[in-house]
Amino acid sequence: MVGYACTVEQGWDLCTTQRPDVALLDIGLAGGDGLLLAQRLKHTSPHIKIIVVSGREDPYTLYRIQRLDLPGYVSKGISVETIREAILAVAQGRAYYTAPFERHLQAPDAFFRVLTAREVEALFAATQWRPQKVACKKLRITVGTLQKHLSNIRRKLDLHTPDALLRYAMHLGMGL
């Protein structure tokens, strides 16, 4: 073990100075999003293998982990032996995921199998930033394009109203 960090910045400093083989990374770090730190580390320090350790098991969080192509995910509250198994597997170049992530990958009706990556971004932006003009600015698209994405998403997911879509997004963990 080379260290422990409580914030995104401390995690960045620790990983870039100590250069560990494997990093256990919580999503909920002070000062930011642990998955954004993971993304940053993947680009600047691809030799570091990242295992996400989290109590967040909502579909959107699991989708984000999958999109980052991280080699490991373990649920909080698991045994020390399971964490040890995960570290050894990932250090040896194998993937290691506990049950919530495995179930997510196997779900035949999972939203990530139905929606494009851009549609997921549009759905997330529409639930996070109000009014729609703010979401459009974040995505660098027009209001018409955002509305078209949301309409396509509702059609694909068989959700007939904007409110139904918002409730679905909240269920996924995209809530405000």
At 107 the pLDDT is 66
**Tens digit of each residue's pLDDT (9 = 90 or more) over 2-34:** 889 999 999 999 999 999 999 999 988 888 889
Task: State percent of the chain over pLDDT 70.
Answer: 93
pLDDT at site 53? 92
For the cut 60, the answer to whether the pLDDT of residue 176 exceeds it is: no
| Domain ranges across the chain | 8-106, 111-172
Phi/psi zone of residue 150: left (φ > 0), alpha (ψ -120 to 50 degrees), beta?
alpha
CB 54 within 8 A of CB 26: yes
State which fold the 111-172 domain adopts: Arc Repressor Mutant, subunit A (1.10.10)
Which class would CATH give 8-106?
Answer: alpha beta
State the burial class of residue 163 (Cβ atoms within 10 Å of its Cβ: 0-12, 13-18, 19+).
exposed
Pairwise CA distance, residues 63 & 68, whole Å: 9
Q: Give the tens place of pLDDT for each residue, 86-134.
A: 999 999 999 998 887 777 766 655 666 678 889 988 988 888 887 888 8
- Average pLDDT for the chain: 87
